[in-house]
Structure 1
Amino acid sequence: MKIKTTRLERMRELFLQMPYISLSELAALFPEVSEMTLRRDIDALEAEGAVIRVRGGARSMKFITATYEDRYEARLSLDSGAKGRIAAAAIRLFDTGMSIFIDSGTTTLRIADYLPNDRFLITTSSPDLARELHRTPLAVINIVGGMYNRENHTLSGQGAIKFISDMTFDLAIMAPSGYTKEGGFSSGNYSECEFKKKVIERSRHVAMLITSSKWGLKQPYTFASPDDISTIITDAELPQPFAQDFDISKTSVIIA
């Protein structure tokens, strides 16, 4: 037991210094134990909130909290081409007169580049998107209330939940921070997670916009499972383990 405690303490120290450590790297650092034991150690660290498991290793929550959910401006240019294709594909789900919720995010923000000037009732948690939609004067734009997250440029919290509680959306365009088989679609912010759950609850059709770079990434708070999602829109073929999840849930997949 003492040896295990010492090993876990050493692993905690490593994850405070490094944003990601692969299972093979851990095996080289701790050759006296099996990979199965190291996987259990990662599970223990994940349970206490120190890391999150990803394919092939684990990521440090210290670095995720500090860097992944912030640096919004830097993420605007990341995978820009893929985000544009995904947003353009999402527009095909829009129809005149629809009530549509559009989530905050750097992929959903690109919806403004392709949205036709037509009669839509659009509700969003993204002030940035609302500002961009001034180019579509026929659309009615609602911005939810709530607390503003400066890092993600989004609104959430009880004010936002109350705003949409009596609304029904024909279509919700959602954006996750990551997806794993164990954790489903996740977010790095509890308040945003709870708000996203309410949006999905109030929506007839839910489309998840996700770049291929987010498969296998897990944030602390799960807001949806494959069964909650009507359509996935992504930029490349899904990795096979994830594709099976959406075959089972009968979720349609669009490759942009």
Structure 2
Amino acid sequence: MLDYAKFPNQRQDLIRKILHDQGRVVCIELAKQMGVSEHTIRRDLHELSKEGICKKVYGGAVLQLPDAGSLASRKVQKISEKSMIGQKCASLIENGSCIFIDAGSTNLVMAMSLSDELTFTAVTNAPDIAAALLKHPNIEIIMLGGRIQKDSGGSVGNTAIKQLKNIMFDKAFIGGCALSPEFGLTGFNFDDCEFKKIAIAQTSQVIVGITSEKIPGVAKFSVATCEEIDILVVEEKINKDLYSAFLNEDITVLTI
């Protein structure tokens, strides 16, 4: 067995691999696995956090995910998983309700999955979602206006914010780039994340549909703590420990 105490580069390479494979690491477990002190592992995690590989948390670290890329590229990724998540999210909408649908590829799939029998008010800041909703005969659509941010695919400026603050929602379907029990829902674009926070403040129930490769992980900017998330919709293959951790945060986890 390699003497990891003498080879810090190899030790950190192994930590990188575990982070990418599992999304998180625990100091005490790494220390036992490599035969080094927890202090040594914490020092390694500090170095890796400076490289942008992870974010330190109490007792370990969480993988810092790379930028998810453009909306166009996200639309063709994980199509099957997003379809199942979108359909499950769509099933949560009730007749007569007022719903906010955030910009994002998974929420776009949800908008395309809605039953023609549903009658409700849909508010969105995303033109592609509004266009998908136009195909449903019984849905009232309110499009929040202003300049479109190309990366997120939605309006997030002052015009959209002023309109958003005048509407109260029964449910809000909020998108995000990463999710972890420690950091909650996070994203890469500051203005988009701030816009999502306002939508969350205006709703009675926050629902997050997200693919499992974004869990656990952390992006640059906070969107919502776990306390603010009511329902998580994700694939069934989510790690059991993470599933339990979200339940412990009083999040209802719906798997597909």
Fold shared, TM-score > 0.5 on shorter chain: yes
Tell me by how many angstroms 1:21 deviates: 4.2
Identity over aligned pairs, percent: 25
Tell me by how many angstroms 1:97 deviates: 1.2
The residue aligned with 1:136 is: 136
Moved over 3 A (4+): 20-25, 33-46, 48-59
Tell me by how many angstroms 1:50 deviates: 4.2
The residue aligned with 2:172 is: 172
Q: Is the 8 A contact 2:125 2:154 kept in 1?
A: yes
Deviations 1:185-220 (A, max 9, x none): 101011111111111111111111011111022111
Distance 1:145 1:95 in 2: 25
Tell me by how many angstroms 1:71 deviates: 2.9
Give runs of aligned pairs for residues 102-181 of structure 1, distance below 5 A. Answer: 102-117=101-116, 118-181=118-181
Q: Where is the helix percentage greater, Structure 1 or Structure 2? A: 1
The residue aligned with 1:207 is: 207
SS in 2 for 1:168: coil
The residue aligned with 1:53 is: 55
Structure 1 portions without partners, runs of 5+ = 1-9, 11-19
Tell me by how many angstroms 1:116 deviates: 1.9
Give runs of aligned pairs for residues 18-97 of structure 1, distance below 5 A. Answer: 21-22=16-17, 36-37=39-40, 39-40=42-43, 42-43=45-46, 46=49, 50-53=52-55, 59=64, 64=66, 68-97=67-96
Deviations 1:73-116 (A, max 9, x none): 22212111111111111122111111000111111100122112
Structure 2 portions without partners, runs of 5+ = 1-8, 10-14, 21-29
Distance 1:57 1:230 in 2: 22
The CA RMSD measured in Å over matched residues stands at 3.4
1:98 aligns to 2:100 (yes or no):
no
Q: Is the 8 A contact 2:70 2:151 kept in 1?
A: yes
The residue aligned with 1:5 is: none
The residue aligned with 1:13 is: none
Deviations 1:149-208 (A, max 9, x none): 212212213332221112110111112101123321101011111111111111111111
SS in 2 for 1:243: helix
Change in CA separation of 1:41 and 1:146 when aligned onto 2, cut-off 3 Å: farther
Q: Is the 8 A contact 1:23 1:38 kept in 2?
A: no
SS in 2 for 1:93: coil
SS in 2 for 1:175: coil
Q: Is the 8 A contact 2:63 2:218 kept in 1?
A: no
Change in CA separation of 1:227 and 1:148 when aligned onto 2, cut-off 3 Å: same
The residue aligned with 1:15 is: none
Change in CA separation of 1:116 and 1:23 when aligned onto 2, cut-off 3 Å: closer
The residue aligned with 2:4 is: none
Change in CA separation of 1:57 and 1:205 when aligned onto 2, cut-off 3 Å: closer
SS in 2 for 1:172: strand
Deviations 1:27-72 (A, max 9, x none): 9xxx9x96744544544664x684443998855x8xx3xxx34232
